[in-house]
Structure 1
Amino acid sequence: MGGGGMSYQSRPPKHSAGAQMSFNLTELEPGHEPRDELGHEATPAAQAAAFVLPQAQLTAYLDAWVAANWLRSVDLAVARLVCNQAPDTSPWAVLAMVFASHLAGQGHVCLELAACWHDADRVLKLPPKDSANAQRRQGLAYVQPGEMPALVHPAQILAATCLADWLAALDACPDVIGRALPEGDMAARAYESIGNPPFIRDGERLYLRRFWCQEQAVAKAISHRLQVQRRLPDATGIHAVLHALFPHPASSGGPDWQKIACAVALRHAFALITGGPGTGKTTTVVKFLMLTQMLALQAGLPPKRILLCAPTGKAAARLRQSLLSQMDALSAPFAAAYPQLRASLPDTVDTVHRLIGIRPDQAQP
């Protein structure tokens, strides 16, 4: 794959009045077999030539996407920085890094390369749902009033390469994209690179290096918790409290998965409870908190210290509203046997950032 240098202009490319941008495969250089947007083999006519992404064409695409409000200016700045610091970086690698930056702005920690190659429009959410209105508001300089540009979609560009070649292009740039070493002991997980690359490829995922390191730290902490052996109360006491919290068989006639989830979570220092809408996740969490406190009170111990958190302020408010209503209803039947139960259950929900002490004016908690 050609990995020639890529230069950037400080201003968007100029177009003639009323000109429309189009993805012209005949302008691409030899090197790759094309495919259609669904990943099917291209027609014999299209197979007559194979293609790589020209540097100037990628420049035009990125400038147009930013002008149309498809990408942020900071995403374009990523491309410029990479091209200035590592001019031999393949345009295909630059494209992947721009996509990863774009998804980071949407709250994602990485770019799923295979998923993006198969369905870029869905993964990247490009064009945005309101892209037409956004383009009109932006008033693109090279478009005559009343005319809209036919912007090229990322899926159309990725149709000119295959996933294996795209990954190879990323690995050919070790100074800007490090390669995560195979999974092993989380304490020893590392990556191979030249210097401190801004991006890390971990299998078929591309991360900003900071996000990859943070994810490894979380994985290491979870792995450590999974190795901790918990000292459980007497099994008879656990069974009695579980039966009191879940006195009736499951309505489906099968296993009571809420009861099982509480029992499994009690046995481990870390647990993940998942389920679709209406499956009883909130009820399960409330009953698990009650189970934990009831066992402590039953053993004559002080109640456990419980902290609840959510990713955003809005999510924290919704969680608090949902949990409080259930706590009041579910704890009421046990008020006589456990007078301290309701008071031992949390009444507040914080955001993750507030819980770990992050403030806008400081880099570290």
Structure 2
Amino acid sequence: MSHVAEELRADITRLNVGLGERAYDILIGPGLFHEAGERIARLRPGARVGIVTDRHVAERHLATVEAALRAAGLTPTPVIVEPGEKSKCFRVFEEVVDALLAARIERRDVVLALGGGVVGDLAGFAAAALRRGVDFVQAPTSLLAQVDSSVGGKTGINSRHGKNLVGAFHQPILVLADSAALDTLPLREFRSGYAEVAKYGLIDNAPFFAWLERKWQEVFAGGPARIEAIATSCASKAAVVARDEKETGDRALLNLGHTFGHALEAGAGFSQRLLHGEAVAVGMAQAFRFSARQGLCSPEDALRVAAHLKTVGLPTRIRDIPGDLPDTDGLMDLIAQDKKVSRGALTFILARGIGRSFIARDVDPAELRAFLEAERGAI
């Protein structure tokens, strides 16, 4: 891939995901959707661009992006899906692939994922499968997608057996994180994304978590603190992806809170009852409580994690999730379907303290069951 040297505006941050010939830039800052055409044209001049987006995002951003693409000599074709996790399914995947083929998207063209994590995962998987691999660009519109799912090349859809069980690793050629897109994000969606920001502090960056405890209101308000939080999160993920692209080693640390969280999401029917980041928030609080129960970290650390998540308005316990959920046996079955299970052995990301997460293999199912029973009974 050839990169043309360019001067960036002072309010744009550039990070690079170092994957050799497949390295790519993450650009973070306001107004990037207005520049999408020229930035994509630098990489793929004259390309057709299949824009996969959802109905809500299309209302806010599609016209801007289409105009930018046309102005740069590119040919856009929108493919609009329904918003929400339920679009990450085989039926919608087939519809998206068919629409991209009908738009004559070829190997030298581009699929543009304009939306949150659902659109990014769905569009990325479609790009990976289309003609055995078409380039794609991530244009994330949610905080969660900007700091997590748009970076690293994980793409996929859900199955009735669980979340993200069908997919491929397919790296983007560019990520355009337009921070101004977050200004119109509903508060609940922003909070959901913030859980993934906090995750980076809890994995291996205790000073960042402490910074968030002090600065979270500024992050929510926007401005320099928000850009700094996004850039720090993306830099953390980019470094991990460069070391372990296919999640054979420490990339699994990025799943802190996700084993519990994915089971709760599935139990809630992948619905608006529980957004992904909300599930991760509960899952991270549970991971620290389980770690404390195992004597791995102090109870004070577990309380501190839950207190911060609760302060920003995120759920931290099963009781915070509205509606009915599976019983303990049901949750154990859902956890057993997790991608991190290896030959039946339960693998969790646990912690020896804030910023000291690690991969715990062969977690004792009996101890996990007892913990879940206690969690369900907690008041």
TM-score (norm 1): 0.28
**Structure of higher CA gyration radius:** 1
Q: Looking at secondary structure, tell me which structure has more strand per residue.
A: 2
Q: Looking at secondary structure, tell me which structure has more helix per residue.
A: 2
